[in-house]
């Protein structure tokens, strides 16, 4: 590892960036250097500008991936190797806003019942019951489950801790699972008990269950969306849901108000409010 890359990683660690973010940022700066076969210290405005255009027009990366590359380069040239380059002034690309995919409670129940693997099924039931991200669920430990207070202590993005309610039904299921499997470090260990279950294993099981049950696509993140939307439909306020999901901005949580069927059904179309027709008028 070069001293420059080491300093870049240390700068990210000092700002409490997650290991996943550090890995992604290092990847994007490394790809820039590979594209020109030069150290990023030797690159100028025009080269960085052309590389970003290459990402958009030739590699046709998603806006999420493009914005992550911009964020990585802005950090590198703004903190680790400070210089006034074009990238520090670049705005982020505007991603198209799509409504989150939400399934009905009946579809969720069928999906969970169809998942074959016992461990994967309890992981997915935990995500739906608590609204955890998949990484948060897979790194869950027994110590985070507080049965006396009926809460789960979650360590989320940016190492921010939050509390989420613990479903009594989920608690019983987790206890039964623990008695059978006796996990040690992680509640949901992988083949190597020192490592948590791999996210790809969970994703593959989701695809298989959807195919077997004839359901539309459901992923662990879909279950998180369902958790939030079903709470909203049950009358839980948006601010509470924001805290439960660990959203930084209320606007992220407010997106779920656009997909609640309960709210949509309360809307009366202006067409339905029109007065009834009076019949053809008679003319003399």
* 157 catalytic per annotation: yes
- pLDDT tens across the length of the chain (284 residues): 789 999 999 999 998 888 889 999 999 999 999 999 999 999 988 899 899 999 989 998 888 899 999 999 999 999 999 887 777 777 777 766 666 778 999 999 999 999 999 999 999 999 999 999 999 999 999 999 999 999 999 987 767 788 899 999 999 999 999 999 999 899 999 988 889 999 999 999 999 999 999 999 999 999 998 998 888 888 888 888 888 888 776 666 666 655 565 555 665 556 566 677 776 655 55
> What span, in angstroms and rounded, lies between the C-alpha atoms of 267 and 3?
60
- For the chain, the domains span 3-89, 105-265
Q: What is the mean pLDDT of the chain?
A: 86
The verdict on whether 58 is a catalytic residue reads no
**Residue 77 annotated in active site:** no
**CA separation, residue 144 to residues 152, 178, 228, 230 (Å):** 6, 14, 21, 24
List strand residue ranges (DSSP E) for the chain, in order. Answer: 145-146, 151-155, 161-165
Q: Which fold has domain 105-265?
A: hpI Integrase; Chain A (1.10.443)
Domain 3-89 coded CATH 1.10.150.130: yes
- How far apart CA 214 and CA 217 sit, in angstroms, is 9
CA distances (Å), 10 to each of 18, 22, 27, 35, 79, in order?
12, 9, 15, 24, 11
Would residue 133 show up in a list of annotated catalytic residues for this protein? yes
**CA 209, CA 205: separation in Å to the nearest integer?**
6
Q: Catalytic residue among 139, 224, 225, 227, which?
A: 224
Residue-wise pLDDT tens digits, 36-46: 999 999 998 88
Task: Note the Cα 207 to chain centre separation in Å.
Answer: 18
DSSP string, 50-81: HHHHHHHHTS---HHHHHHHHHHHHHIIIIIS
């Amino acid at each position: 590892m070069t001293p420059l890359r080491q300093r870049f990683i240390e700068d990210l660690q000092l700002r409490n960036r997650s290991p996943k973010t550090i890995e992604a940022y290092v990847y994007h700066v490394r790809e820039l250097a590979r594209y020109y076969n030069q150290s990023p210290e030797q690159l100028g405005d025009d080269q960085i500008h052309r590389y970003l255009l290459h990402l958009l027009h030739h590699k046709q990366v998603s806006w999420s991936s493009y914005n992550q590359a911009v964020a990585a380069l802005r950090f590198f040239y703004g903190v680790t190797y400070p210089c006034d380059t074009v990238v520090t002034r670049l705005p982020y690309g505007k991603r198209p806003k799509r409504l989150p995919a939400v399934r009905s409670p009946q579809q969720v129940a069928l999906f969970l019942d169809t998942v074959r693997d016992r461990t994967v099924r309890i992981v997915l039931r935990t995500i739906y019951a608590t609204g955890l991200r998949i990484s948060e669920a897979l790194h869950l430990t027994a110590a985070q489950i507080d049965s006396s207070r009926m809460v789960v202590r979650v360590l989320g993005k940016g190492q921010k801790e939050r509390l989420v309610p613990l479903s009594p039904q989920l608690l019983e299921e987790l206890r039964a699972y623990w008695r059978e499997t006796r996990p040690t470090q992680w509640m949901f260990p992988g083949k190597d008990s020192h490592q948590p279950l791999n996210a790809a294993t969970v994703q593959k099981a989701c695809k298989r269950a959807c195919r077997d049950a004839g359901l539309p696509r459901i992923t662990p993140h879909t279950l998180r969306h369902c958790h939030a939307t079903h709470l909203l439909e049950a009358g839980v306020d948006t601010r509470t849901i924001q805290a439960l999901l660990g959203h930084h901005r209320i606007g992220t949580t407010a997106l779920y108000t656009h997909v609640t069927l309960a709210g949509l059904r309360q809307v009366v179309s202006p067409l339905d409010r029109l007065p009834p027709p009076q019949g053809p008028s008679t003319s003399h």
